[in-house]
Amino acid sequence: MLFVSDRQPYKSALSDERWALIEPVIASWKARHPSVSGHQGAYEMREIVNALLYQSRTGCQWDYLPHDRPPVGAMKYYFYKWREDGTDQTIHDLLCWQVRESRGRKADPSLVVLDTQSLHAAVGVPADTTGREAAKKSPRSQTRTGS
């Protein structure tokens, strides 16, 4: 397996603690998806995950990933497979829960606050299509989240 151990880790790289948290998920996935040729892969799964985290964090295009990462084809394979079957969400949830718990919070938030802003309907929009915001006692045509 290829592993570049003498380079400085990127800021997006998994700590040993976080890798220990998600490594069983990856190992389980690999066990459920054996290669038809029996090939075990030429890259350590931690390097694949680190490369995907780098791409996600920086937003760079696949072809602009650093050359000390596994080939783009290998990274895309796992990215799309994990996105398709929900493995990426499982990993995301585990890491979020770990961060929340390390900060003394419950793994799952008990409250979510959404900030919305009312937008006035354009002139001529029928009132029966706009709805009503009960708390504000004002007609609305649509609600925009964020801002």
Range from 24-38, 59-73, 98-112 carrying the lowest mean pLDDT: 98-112
pLDDT in the model for residue 99: 85
Query: In this structure, are residues 85 and 97 in contact, taking their beta carbons and an 8 Å threshold?
Result: no
Residue-wise pLDDT tens digits, 108-136: 777 777 766 666 667 777 777 766 666 66
Q: For residue 30, which of 21, 41, 19 has the smallest C-alpha distance?
A: 41
pLDDT in the model for residue 119: 64
Do 65 and 123 lie in one domain? The reply is no
pLDDT in the model for residue 1: 46
Q: What are phi and psi of 139, to 5 degrees?
A: -70, 155
Asked if residue 36 has pLDDT above 70, the reply is: yes
Let me know if residue 6 belongs to a domain: no
Let me know if residue 11 belongs to a domain: no
Let me know if residue 4 belongs to a domain: no
For residue 53, what are the contacts with CB-CB under 8 A and spacing of at least 6? 12, 13, 14
Do 92 and 132 lie in one domain? The reply is no
- For the chain, the domain total comes to 2
* Helix extents (H) in the chain: 16-32, 45-58, 72-85, 87-102
Q: What are phi and psi of 41, to 5 degrees?
A: 100, 145
Which sign, positive or negative, has the C-alpha torsion 58, 60, 62, 67? negative
43 pLDDT band (50/70/90 cuts)? Answer: confident
Tokens of 33: 């998806």
For residue 14, what are the contacts with CB-CB under 8 A and spacing of at least 6? 22, 46, 49, 50, 53
Do 127 and 78 lie in one domain? The reply is no
Residue-wise pLDDT tens digits, 52-98: 999 988 999 999 988 888 899 999 999 999 999 999 999 999 988 88
pLDDT in the model for residue 85: 95
pLDDT in the model for residue 28: 94
Asked if residue 100 has pLDDT above 90, the reply is: no
Q: What is the C-alpha to C-alpha distance for residues 138 and 124, in angstroms, rounded to an integer?
A: 17
Let me know if residue 134 belongs to a domain: yes
Q: What is the C-alpha to C-alpha distance for residues 60 and 23, in angstroms, rounded to an integer?
A: 25
Give this prediction's pTM: 0.64
pLDDT in the model for residue 103: 83
Asked if residue 147 has pLDDT above 50, the reply is: no
pLDDT in the model for residue 125: 74
- State which residues form the domain around 87: 16-102
Let me know if residue 24 belongs to a domain: yes
